[in-house]
Amino acid sequence: MNNSQSSSLNIWKSYLLNNKSVYFVGTLMVLLTNICQVLTTRIIGWIIDFFSGVSYPHFFSKASKIETFYFFFICMFACRVLITLGRMGWRVTLARQTHMASAMLRKRIWENARFFNKKDLVTDFSKGNLMNASNSDVNSSRFIFGFTLVGLVDVIFLGILTLVTMGMINLKMTLISVLSLSILPYFVKKLSSKEVQRYKDSQKALGDFNDLSTQVISTIRLQRLTQTGNYWEGKLIESATKFKNSRLLALFTSLNYIPMMGGASIISYGVLFVVGVGLVIDQQMTIGDFVSMQGLIFLLQDPLMEMGFIISDWKRGTTSLDRLNKIYKNKKEEFLFKKGDRISDSQYVLSAKNLSFRYYDSDKKTPLIENFNLNLLPGERLGITGDIGTGKSTLLKILSGLERNYEGRLFFQGKDYNNYEHGQLREFMSFVQQKPFLFADTIKKNIEMDRELSDDDVWYYLELAGLDKDVLDFPDKLNTPLGEWGINLSGGQRQRLTLARALSRRPKLLFLDDCLSAVDTVTEDLILNNLDRELSDTTLIWVAHRSSTLKYCNKVLNLSDKAEVIHE
pLDDT of amino acid 521? 79
Q: When comparing pLDDT for 95 and 341, which is higher?
A: 95
Contact present, 489 and 482 (Cβ < 8 Å): yes
Burial 334-364 (b: 16+ CB within 10 A, else e): ebbeeebeebeeeebbbbbeebebbeeeeee
Average confidence (pLDDT) over 42-50:
89
Together in a domain, 289 and 358:
no
Distance between CA atoms of 206 and 146, rounded to whole angstroms? 25
Strand order of the sheet with strand 555-558?
429-432, 509-513, 539-543, 381-385, 555-558, 566-567
Q: Which residues pair with 512 in a beta bridge?
A: 432, 542
Q: Percent of the chain scored above 90 by pLDDT?
A: 8
In a domain, 222, yes or no: no
Average confidence (pLDDT) over 539-546:
84
Together in a domain, 497 and 551:
yes
Together in a domain, 485 and 542:
yes
In a domain, 232, yes or no: no
Distance between CA atoms of 151 and 358, rounded to whole angstroms? 56
Q: Which residues contact 41 (CB under 8 A, 6 or more apart)?
A: 165, 292, 295, 296, 299
Q: Which residues contact 406 (CB under 8 A, 6 or more apart)?
A: 355, 356, 357, 369, 398
In a domain, 97, yes or no: yes
pLDDT of amino acid 32? 93
Over its C-alpha atoms, the chain yields an Rg (Å, rounded) of: 34
Together in a domain, 381 and 296:
no
Average confidence (pLDDT) over 108-122:
81
Report pLDDT digits (tens) over 61-76: 888 889 888 998 999 9
For strand 566-567 and strand 406-412, is the pairing parallel, antiparallel, or unpaired? unpaired
Report pLDDT digits (tens) over 504-537: 888 888 888 888 777 777 888 888 888 888 887 8
pLDDT at 130 over 90: no
Q: Which long-range contacts (CB under 8 A, 24 or more apart) does 353-356 make?
A: 353/408, 353/409, 353/410, 353/411, 354/407, 354/408, 354/409, 355/398, 355/406, 355/407, 355/408, 355/409, 355/410, 356/406, 356/407, 356/408
pLDDT at 4 over 70: no
Domain with residue 86: its CATH number is: 1.20.1560.10
Domain with residue 369: its CATH number is: 3.40.50.300
Contact present, 500 and 472 (Cβ < 8 Å): no
pLDDT at 422 over 60: yes
pLDDT at 567 over 50: no
pLDDT of amino acid 566? 41
Together in a domain, 314 and 362:
no
Contact present, 192 and 315 (Cβ < 8 Å): yes
pLDDT of amino acid 78? 94
Contact present, 455 and 478 (Cβ < 8 Å): yes
pLDDT of amino acid 28? 93
Distance between CA atoms of 257 and 284, rounded to whole angstroms? 36
Together in a domain, 297 and 354:
no
Together in a domain, 66 and 155:
yes
Domain tally, the chain: 2
In a domain, 225, yes or no: no
Q: What is the dihedral of CA 30, 322, 184, 86, to 10 degrees?
A: 10
In a domain, 250, yes or no: yes
pLDDT of amino acid 562? 53
Cα angle 347, 353, 359 (rounded to 5 degrees) comes to 130
Last residue of a domain, one of 308, 324, 340: 324
**pLDDT confidence of 1, banded at 50, 70, 90?**
very low
Q: Which domain holds residue 484?
A: 350-567
pLDDT of amino acid 89? 92
Query: Helix H segments across 182-256?
Result: 184-218, 220-226, 229-255
Q: When comparing pLDDT for 518 and 80, which is higher?
A: 80
In a domain, 239, yes or no: no
Together in a domain, 437 and 547:
yes
Stretch among 97-111, 195-209, 252-266 having the lowest mean pLDDT: 252-266
Phi, psi of 275 (to 5 degrees): -65, -40
Average confidence (pLDDT) over 361-381:
77
Q: When comparing pLDDT for 307 and 221, which is higher?
A: 307
Together in a domain, 319 and 354:
no
In a domain, 37, yes or no: yes
Distance between CA atoms of 354 and 365, rounded to whole angstroms? 17
pLDDT of amino acid 345? 74
Phi, psi of 415 (to 5 degrees): -125, 150
pLDDT at 5 over 60: no
pLDDT at 281 over 50: yes
In a domain, 55, yes or no: yes
Whole-model pTM: value is: 0.66
Stretch among 218-227, 484-493, 556-565 having the lowest mean pLDDT: 556-565
Average pLDDT, the chain: 81
Together in a domain, 425 and 292:
no
Together in a domain, 94 and 171:
yes
Between the CA of residue 496 and those of 149, 503, 514, 528, what are the distances in Å? 52, 10, 11, 12
pLDDT of amino acid 256? 78
Q: Percent of the chain scored above 70 by pLDDT?
A: 92
**pLDDT confidence of 561, banded at 50, 70, 90?**
low
**pLDDT confidence of 474, banded at 50, 70, 90?**
confident
Together in a domain, 59 and 113:
yes
pLDDT at 399 over 90: no
**pLDDT confidence of 234, banded at 50, 70, 90?**
confident
